[in-house]
Structure 1
Amino acid sequence: MKTFVLLAFVALAASAYALEESERVNGENGWYVPQQDGSFEWVDMDVAEEWMDAQERMEDRGLTTVPVNFYLYTKSNPTKGKSIKATAKSIDASNFNADHPTRFVIHGWTQSYVNSMNKDIRDAWLSKGDYNIIVVDWARARSVDYATSVMAVAKTGKKVAAMANFLKDYRGMSFDNLYFIGHSLGAHVAGYAGKNADGQVHTIVGLDPALPLFSYNKPNKRLNSDDAWYVESIQTNGGTLGFLKPIGKGAFYPNGGKSQPGCIADVTGACSHGRSTTYYAEAVAQDNFGTIKCNDYENAVAKECGSTYSSVRMGADTNAYMVAGDFYVPVNSKAPFGMIN
């Protein structure tokens, strides 16, 4: 505890010499780190990375715990999750069926497995057929301190990978139809799960992958396009709570990727950030998000990609076989949000 307090003090003292506001570029030379009350605190990149390196060493020494629980939903138990563990006894007592595709759903900061995004995505997939939906509950996401939650991302991802590896080894679950779907910090958990899986996972979907305290130039410490055979990112609050630069092999920018229509006075970005989960659930259930192919992500953000719709739909199950590049996605201000071309 004394070490933690000392490090926090050093970081705080160093922040007294932080960059002037006019020099700050979120995600480039520092981050606006979200606080529990919805405000943001600026931290220079060198200060934050020094602190995180020290905290990572503490994590590696096993000085902190990372509780992770898993809840299985299927057509046989669509609304009441069955707690499962990576043991033969637990899986045998559940409705897990290796003949059906599997989807892991991973929440973000301050959330839990009962958060509405899990229900929406779970219900969307189960409306399409027989799936094993495994909702991940990671307790460190509910830390009051965002940075503490960030430090748990890697170990949480390893535990998700361990569950997937067990299901593959014990029940013969195929990685060829396995998805990791994560929102915000959960998107990076999904990335670490892909990095630590015993084989290549088919797809990872990053729903507005968290920007604060993650560097675009350090892909090994965040979700990146090599973490699965196909990685799709749906970026809705880019430059604030989420990444603006493309994260996935297929990067989708609803309304240009920075803010979302219908999110009135969205000062903190929370509404736009959360829309990524709402859009994805609707996309799975309705396949109704038409897209316009862009030359690059700057064109997508500027909404300068022309008006010709592509054959690609955001969030489509077939994207892994045909999608690469950046796409602008027109959206409505209320449900249904997708615009069918």
Structure 2
Amino acid sequence: MKTFLILSFFALAVSALPLEESERINGENGWYLPQEDGSFEWVDMDVAEKWMEAQEQLESRGLTTVPVKFYLYTSSNPTKGTKITTTTNSIDASNFNAANPTRFVIHGWTQSYTASMNKDICSAWLSRGDYNVIVVDWSRARSVDYATSVMAVGATGKKVAAMINFLQSNYGMSLDNLYVIGHSLGAHVAGYAGKNTNGQVHTIVGLDPALPLFSYNKPNKRLNANDAWYVESIQTNGGSLGFLKPIGKGAFYPNGGQSQPGCGWDLTGSCSHGRSTIYYAEAVSVDNFGSIKCGDYQDAVSKECGSTYSGVRMGADTNAYMVDGDFYVPVNSEAPFGMIN
């Protein structure tokens, strides 16, 4: 089935003359899709959207599977996750404590629950006190075909929402101190989770939300500012692997949001893309990323926001109550990356 879908996608792509390279605008009239070897293949927007419509029908009819697993980390088991399921037997046998705030962490394409971003973010939160950190492992993200992984985003988000709803209804987990944190495709999984919970999630943090095959003018099919009470986006490879236009209520642009210092040539963008997770883990544990308020995101990208620090720090807990708009974030080329004003 998977092979048929991939072949169908590329059959559509070659059935019409693609846009000339000079006419291509990533995210506006098509996308450069990342490949397993780090290269990119262009697909026109109309071709991609036809394929996605066909694939969505298969997904909705249950003709594809979307396995999702959950691993709980707490101060009692900070380095070895306990696999949990939506059953009382499973949760009762774990260290889950509804009295503590909960954090869900969701990886992106080609990753798993053992990815370094999960370890870093989990460790950062547990260094601050007692939390339930639940790392989401969604195996469809490990498809070598990016487009196939994209099509599992919605169903994966619904499964995350189902776990949230289960913990809320059966254990009294509060949504008022719940964060859902996702990187790349995982950011959009977080958005779908927020769209499907029984009540409003407090905060979603999108770490360089993936751009390929997601359209800015279709917010119901991506992470958007209404998916939680507060949505923050940390955008580090904008216009390539990640969105450049602001996604969250608070949108932060380290080094202007397109490329990151210390990443060298970074031809695939993977270094800059991954920096969002490293910055966030540091922000949680150290709270050291000063920011400058911008008039709009274009000013942030062009680094024309002045030199006066705003008092807002990227990734800070208090942002949900004080942040609205776009921020330029100066960063160092090596750790510690944050600059405190």
Question: Shorter-chain TM-score: which interval?
Answer: over 0.9
Deviation at 1:6, TM superposition (A): 6.1
Deviation at 1:12, TM superposition (A): 3.0
Deviation at 1:135, TM superposition (A): 0.2
Q: Which residue of 1 aligns with 2:179?
A: 179
Q: Which residue of 2 aligns with 1:13?
A: 14
Matched, 1:153 2:116: no
Deviation at 1:13, TM superposition (A): 2.2
**CA deviations over 1:268-319 (Å, ceiling 9, x no partner):** 0000000000000000000000000000000000000000000100000110
TM-score by length of 2: 0.98
Matched, 1:314 2:314: yes
Distance 1:219 1:266 in 2: 29
Deviation at 1:9, TM superposition (A): 4.7
Q: Which residue of 1 aligns with 2:55?
A: 55
**CA deviations over 1:12-57 (Å, ceiling 9, x no partner):** 323x500000000000000000000000000000000000000000
Q: How does 1:33-112 map to 2 (within 5 A)?
A: 33-112=33-112
Q: Which residue of 2 aligns with 1:116?
A: 116
Q: Which residue of 2 aligns with 1:222?
A: 222
Q: Which residue of 2 aligns with 1:210?
A: 210
Distance 1:64 1:26 in 2: 29
**CA deviations over 1:156-190 (Å, ceiling 9, x no partner):** 00000000000000000000000000000000000
Aligned length: 340
Distance 1:26 1:39 in 2: 15
Deviation at 1:11, TM superposition (A): 1.5
Deviation at 1:87, TM superposition (A): 0.3
Q: Which residue of 1 aligns with 2:284?
A: 284
Q: Which residue of 2 aligns with 1:261?
A: 261
1:105 counterpart letter in structure 2: V
TM-score by length of 1: 0.98
Distance 2:322 2:87 in 1: 37
Deviation at 1:146, TM superposition (A): 0.1
2:40 counterpart letter in structure 1: F
Q: Which residue of 2 aligns with 1:200?
A: 200
> Is the partner of 2:232 in helix, strand or coil?
strand
Q: Which residue of 1 aligns with 2:5?
A: 4
- The answer on whether the counterparts of 2:39 and 2:268 sit within 8 Å (CA) in structure 1 is yes
Unaligned runs of 5+ in 1: none
Unaligned runs of 5+ in 2: none
Distance 2:5 2:310 in 1: 51
**CA deviations over 1:125-159 (Å, ceiling 9, x no partner):** 00001000000000000000000000000000000
**CA deviations over 1:210-235 (Å, ceiling 9, x no partner):** 00000000000000000000000000
Deviation at 1:10, TM superposition (A): 3.1
The percent identity for this pair of structures is 80
- The answer on whether the counterparts of 2:84 and 2:94 sit within 8 Å (CA) in structure 1 is yes
2:338 counterpart letter in structure 1: G
Q: Which residue of 1 aligns with 2:270?
A: 270
Deviation at 1:4, TM superposition (A): 2.8
Distance 2:263 2:8 in 1: 38
Deviation at 1:265, TM superposition (A): 1.4
Distance 2:154 2:196 in 1: 10
Q: Which residue of 2 aligns with 1:334?
A: 334
> Is the partner of 1:69 in helix, strand or coil?
strand
Runs (4 or more) in structure 1 with deviation over 4 Å come to none
Q: Which residue of 1 aligns with 2:301?
A: 301
